[in-house]
Every structure is written in structure tokens, then in C-alpha cells.
A and B are shown apart, each in its own frame.
Chain A
Amino acid sequence: MGEGHFGMSGESILRRNNVTVLGRTDGPVLMFGHGFGTDQSMWDKVLPYFVEDYRVVLFDHVGAGGSDLDAYESAKYSSVEGYVTDIVEILDALDLTEVTFIGHSMSAMLAVTLAAEHAQRLRRVVLLAASASYMDRPEDGYEGGFSREDLEELFESLDDNYVVWASRMAPVFMNNPHRPELGADLANRFNRTTPHIARELARTAFLADVRHLLSKVRVPALIMQCADDIIVPMHVGAYLHQNIPSSTLVNMKAKGHFPQASAPEETAHTMLRYLGSTTPGLLTLV
């Protein structure tokens, strides 16, 4: 199928999400999804481990990195579903199946949703620094790490400070070898337009709750939990493992929220070991 979405050719979908395809063309497909606050360049340090044997698909969520900011619609992206729709459209546009989707942070929530609702497109999912809900849910005792009040404060400070933050953060997005065309013009545009996007994105990510989908994950899942992650408390990894049917939990030595950057070797090797196993679901039994 040449067109995944009416009115939007495959090509314009790839442009919208700034899709990059690397690696071995006939290799199994790995799709990497970045989290809140970053873009596809976050994966740079681990890519060398994969490109020889795998076909690697990278993209930016609409609103981030080199995506088409004009494609941003508040209504669509106010829920996880909007982002999931985009990913399915990318899969359609590239005609990909049997995909292993590797989701970091917020994208791990998308991975869970994909694995529950579009499992036929997937082979496995990898959940890196993942959470099922960042917000505490006092009604059933779940501790996501942040209270409602904490998050209200985050949203408030995004309102007040994001412009200042973004002006500091912009260079990281510019520092992308795959997109040398990004210039000062785009940087300006980025600064001007993203505060409301960041605000809404933060709401979507931090208020999302995919716990009800965990038991519906239909493909094997690898959960990679980091130590001392300021965003995801340690017990969340175990929680995911308990609730996702055929899942494997690996507690990493890497500290912090960005193991793919701070500990690329451990991160890549953990994934490769998992990808190389023929019956990943059974690892949980061992």
C-alpha cells in the first residue's frame, strides 16, 4: 500500500516525522522511539551496534527535533493515541511488519499501546526507562514517582520557563549528524513555536496511564530498568514485569534516565542478547 493515510502520501508521512532509515536493508527491523525532551539523535551512540545486522528506523515525534511542526495538532496529540497513529502510519508508509519497537521513556508507553492494539505489526517490544504512569495513582496504590501536585508544578513551570529552557536546549537538536540541513532558521522557529507543544507534550506524557494495556501486550517485551533514574522509580520495572504477560526484566547497571547515551555498550548488548534469543518469552521462566 503506497499511502498510509488519505491526503498524506507515504513520503509526506516520512517527512512529517523526519524518518531516517539506516542499516542493512534486508535485516530485521528495529524502530527506535525517543522520549519527551529529546529526539532521534538520542540513539546515536547505540546505533553502531545495530546497523550491521538490522534495518534501523528512526523518527522524531511531531513537535520534536526535525519533525514538521506545522503538522502539530493539539487535539490529536493530546493523547498517546495520536502518537501511536503516526507510528502505524510510518509502518504503513515503509510497509514494515515483524518490527521490534524500542521505546524510550514516553515512547515506551507508545510501545505498550502498539503491542496491545497493533500487535500484528510487531515482533517484540523493548521498553527502556519505561513507566506505565509517571503520576501516582493513590486510588489503587500505584506509585509512579510524581504526585498530581508535582506535575501541576511542572506544567506551571513549563508555562513560565520553557522559552528559557528551550533556548538552552535547542543546540542538542541541532547536533544531529543525520540532519545537517538544520540551521539557525530552524532553531529560531523551534524557539518560537515549541512552548505550547512542549506544554501539551508534557501533559500527554506525564498524565498518560497505560496500566490497563499491560495485560493486553501480545508480543514478548524486554523491560530495561535503570538505577537512580530521576524520572522512573526502581520498582516500576518490576511492576511492568509482573503485569506484561511474556516479559523479561533486566535491571541495568547504568544509572539515570538515558542509558542509551550514558551506557551505550551495556544498553546495546542487553538488547542484542534479547534480540538474538529465539524464545524471548521463555526467558522470564528461567
Chain B
Amino acid sequence: MTGQRSHSGAPAGDQSEFEDLFDHAPVGYLVTGLDGVILRANTTFARWLDEDQESLIGRSFLRLLPVGDRIMFGTHAMAQLEHTGALNELSADLFTRDRSRIPVLLAITRVQGHHGTTDRIVVIRATERRLHEQELVSALHSLQEADEARNRLLEEARRQAQHDSLTGLANRSLLQDQVRDALIVGAHSSTQVGLLFCDVNRFKRINDNLGHTAGDDVLRHVARCLDQAAGSEALVARYSGDEFVVLVPTIIRGNELALIENRLRLELASPILIGDRRVSVDVAVGAALTPSTYHHDDVTGIAEKLIEEADAAMYRAKTRAHGKPLERTKSPEKLRLETDLRGAAARGELKVFYQPQIDARNTELVGAEALVRWHHPELGLLSPLDFIDVAEDSGLIKEVGAHVLHTACAFGMAMLNNGKALEMSVNVSAYQLSDPEFVNDVRKILDTVGFPARLLTLEVTESKVISNTVHSNGTLTALRELGVHLSVDDFGTGYSSLSQLHSMPVTEVKIDRSFVKDIDENSPLTLITGIIGLARGLGLRIVAEGIETPAQLQALTHIGCDRLQGYHLGRPVDEETFHARHY
């Protein structure tokens, strides 16, 4: 720029002096439009950037800033400039032509002129100052780090006060706080709070026999399993000694507590090694839920009551599973079977065999009864008679039952996929029927496997169906609603009154083998004919099992049975053999 422009009243010499002052001042001068486009730049600025003065005109000032500064400028500095019309001492870097950076300070003023609004930018080299700033920033960083370290220590101290040092779980006082908090939230949002109270079975015996270190190992093991089972929304606390509590602050699904308990039992399924001994650990679990509405005035009271309730439920569960709690005596054989049965399904020791069921009218294969066998690593092949009592007694029947049901459904599904619709009959114990989760478990297995409910029949022993009428009626109805068939096993041996049977949602009876055994060429068929007549009167499907001779087959085919099963028609065999033999 040479002194071409002249303002009225200003001598030409002064003008060029001002121009010179502008161009060669020890600071950079810029004029930009509101969009940041450079309208004018002085020589000093161009020299610093190693750019040609003319070539800067029309370029965006913002593009001279490295992208980080540019974004900060665009989001922060521009906002202030729009707002207040001025900015002072803004730190930034500028790119020179060869992309090296020079630290500068910017002062910007927005000016209304003859030709519209422009920004005047004064640029000061700030290498020294930037060094100071950097020192300041690093001092601040270390201050912050010290602050953070202090906070971490405080946090750690707080954590320790609220946690159990052996297991790392929340302690009783934190649990009580959290239960109270959850109750307040629950009262506001009308959601339920759930608790599980867990007590380690025979913990005293473990402690006495194996020592306190072993006891501690067991507690840590249970803590880990609980932690795994409970999920991230729940709080697991060590309540006292061998008692643990799981708090689920918001029950989302109705069966949430049962799901946690199931997961816990799975986690606990395999024995742990203490020293050189395998120790099976299991727990008694009780659950409690807040009522659907309650007032949150006395959360401390409700919290206590809720914990007490879960504790009482645990105690009841213990009684149910073991007879009198803590005083049970078991034969060493049974104890051993119990220990070994724990996790047997997961270890692949439980095998399911299938015995064919034949349509009496045309002798076609229509179904199979699933029967479990236990390949005990030392005792060999065990039939259900050998271990079902132990399974029921210990609660392991749930695990065993689920395994058999899943396996049978999966086999049925595999057959179905091969184009053969085979009905599967699976035995269910009274213990399973009394489990409120049972219907859900069945539904889940069917869903997982994809096996149609109409192809599944659950067999329940007559005496058990009847004795549990009141309790399990809801369960049976719910199972029917799923589409599953229900069969009364060992029909004729129980004390069933017909009126009771009439009111139950069963679809099939299985005539007990004792009636079949009595059939021979010479004896009359009066009794069994009567039984069949009764069942037919109720509209039930009739299955006869235990058929071992041609005579029995002959007789039963003619007196109105729908289906037939027995050694004479096919023994229980494994999947491969079943498949090879029948298809």
C-alpha cells in the first residue's frame, strides 16, 4: 500500500506517515469482514507469516489458525465478539506459509464503518508469554492431579467404611442405606423393591472341619457368585457371618428375584477346591418384595421389615429343602451323591434316553418318553430311582429337571426339523411344580429351542398332582395355557377321586404298569377295563406303559388304549440309537 488514499484535510505527507506506521508497526494489523475474510493486512503481519501481503487479501483469517484454535475461535471467541463487540488478549497460534506455528495474542474490535461492519485485529507476538502460560497450565494440571489424588483417597476411605473387607461387598450399613433409598424411589415411582436373603448351608460345619481360612475362601466364593448372579443394577451385601443380601432397587420383571436365584445356583453348581478337597457350597435363599403400594414415611421401618421378611423366607426355604434346618442328618452315601450330582448336568454326566410310544390303532411311532440316566464317574450308570430322592431333597431337581426338559425338547426339535413330529413326554417332580418359576422356565426352554408346546407332554405322578391340588392348580392351568399337555403318571395307584381329576386341566392318563403286569391270557381284564372306561369318560388320552409281552400288547390294543409303551415295543435308548432304530 502506498499513500494513494487521502482524507480531506490531511496532508499527503502525514497520510504516508500513517501508512508507514500501519505497515511497519511492531504488531500485526488486520481488517476482516464479519466472515473473517481479510480485507487488509500490514507488512509486519505478512512478514511474520512469510506471506506476500497482497496474497493475504481475500483469504480467511480463521484458516490461518490451526483447527483446534479455529474451532475454539468459532465457538467461543466469535460468540463473545458478537455479544460484546470486543476481545482482548486471546491466545492462539498462527500458521506461517510453511505451516510452522507462531504463538500470538489477538485483540479484536468490531467497528461500524462507512462500508459496513468490520473487525480490526491487532496481532502481538507472544512467544515469551506463551511459555509463561504453558508453565501456568502445567502448574494447574499438577494442582488438579493433586486434587484428584486427594479425592481418590477420600473416596477410598469412604468406600472402606461402607464395605466388607473380606469379600469387598457392601456392608450392612451401606445395605440399609441403599434399601431405604430404594424404598423412597419405589414409593415415588410405584415400583417394587426386591430382596434376596442368602445363607450358606452347613457353613459352620465347613468352618469347624476345614478351618477358618477355608471358611473365608467359601465366603469369598459365595460373594463372587452372588456378584455374578445379581447383575449391575443390584447391590450385593454381606449381612453378617455367612449371610448375604441382594438388593434389587427396581423390580422390572416379575420373576427378577427368581432369575437371580437361578443364576446364583448355576454359579454355585461346580464345587470349589479348598486345599485338596472339593467342597460343594450351596445356599438357602429367601425372597421378599415390597407391596405394590406403601407409604414412604417410615422407610427405616419398612427396610427392616423387608430384610426380616426375606430372612424368614430363607428360613422357610431351608426347612422345606432339608426338613428341620441345620439339624438334618444324612447318610454318607446320600451326602456323596448330593455332592456329585451338583453340576453333573453341566459336566455332561446326565444322559437322556427315549422310549418309544406307539399309536394303538396303527402301531405307528407317535411319541417318546424322556428318561434320565446318570453316568456317575465311579458308580456307573444310575437310574432315576437311585438319585431322584437325593435330587429332590437337595433342591438339585430343579437343575436336573431343566436339563432333561431342555435336552428332550432339543431332540424333539431336531426330529421335527427332519420332518418327523414326535411328541415328547417328560417327567416332572412335585418339587418342580411347586416352584413359582417353573412355568416360566418351561416357556423359556420352549422359546429357546423353538419346540412347539403342543408336542410336549409333562408327566406328573398321580399322588403328587392330587396332594398338591390347591397349590399347583395355578401352575397346571398356566402350563395348559402354554399349550403343553399334562399327563397323570402311574394312574390308578393314587388316591385320586374322580371328582378331583375331573377338575384338573390334565389331558392324558398313563395307566400304571402294575395293572399291565397282571394281564395274561387267563386273567380277566375287569379292573383295567374299568380304569380305561373312567379315563375315557373324562375325555382323556390313555397311555399304557410297561408292556412286556405279546399278550399284553394284544389285550391293551383291544380295550381302548390310545398309546402303548414298554420293553416289548422298544427299550429306552439314546438319541442316536433311537434315530437309527426308528427311522
Contacts and interface: CB of A to CB of B under 8 A. Distances in A.
Contacts of B68: 153-158, 161
A227 B77 CA distance: 18
B66 A163 contact: no
Interface stretch (B87-95, B470-478, B520-528, B567-575): B87-95
B75 A6 contact: no
Interface in A44-58: 44
A37 interface: yes
A41 B91 contact: no
Interface string A50-78: 00000000000000000000000000000
Interface residues of B, number: 39
B136 interface: yes
A38 B75 CA distance: 7
A262 B84 CA distance: 11
B74 interface: yes
Chain B binding surface, main DSSP class: helix
Contact of A41 (B83, B87, B90, B144): B83
A135 B73 CA distance: 17
Contacts of B144: 195-196
Interface in A157-174: 157-158, 160-161, 163-165, 168-169, 171-172
Contacts of B79: 37-38, 42, 172, 257-258, 261
B154 to A, nearest CB: 16
Contacts of A262: 34, 82
A96 to B, nearest CB: 21
From A37, A42, A155, A196, residue with most partner B Cβ within 10 Å: A37
B555 interface: no
Contact of B137 (A3, A35, A164, A231): A164
A157 B62 CA distance: 16
A37 B83 contact: no
B401 to A, nearest CB: 41
Contacts of B73: 230
Interface stretch (B162-170, B182-190, B233-241): B182-190
B562 interface: no
Interface in B178-206: 184-185, 188-189
Interface in B49-105: 60, 62, 66-80, 82-84, 87-91
B494 interface: no
Contacts, number: 114
A175 interface: yes
Contacts of A256: 34-36, 78, 82
B133 interface: yes
Nearest to A39: B79
Contacts of A202: 71
B507 to A, nearest CB: 47
A269 interface: no
A175 B66 CA distance: 29
A255 interface: yes
A42 B74 contact: no
Contacts of B136: 163-164
B140 interface: yes
A161 B91 contact: yes
Given A38-B79, A230-B70, 10 more contacts: A6-B189, A36-B75, A105-B75, A146-B71, A150-B67, A155-B68, A164-B133, A165-B72, A175-B84, A228-B36
Interface of A: 3, 6-7, 35-38, 41-42, 44, 105, 146, 150, 153-158, 160-161, 163-165, 168-169, 171-172, 175, 195-196, 202, 206, 227-228, 230-231, 255-258, 261-262
29 contacts: A6-B188, A41-B83, A150-B71, A153-B66, A153-B67, A154-B68, A155-B68, A156-B68, A158-B68, A160-B134, A161-B72, A161-B137, A164-B137, A165-B91, A171-B80, A172-B79, A172-B84, A175-B83, A196-B144, A227-B35, A228-B36, A230-B73, A230-B78, A231-B71, A231-B75, A255-B35, A256-B35, A257-B74, A262-B82
Closest 7 CB pairs of A and B: A157-B68, A261-B82, A37-B75, A228-B35, A230-B74, A37-B76, A172-B80
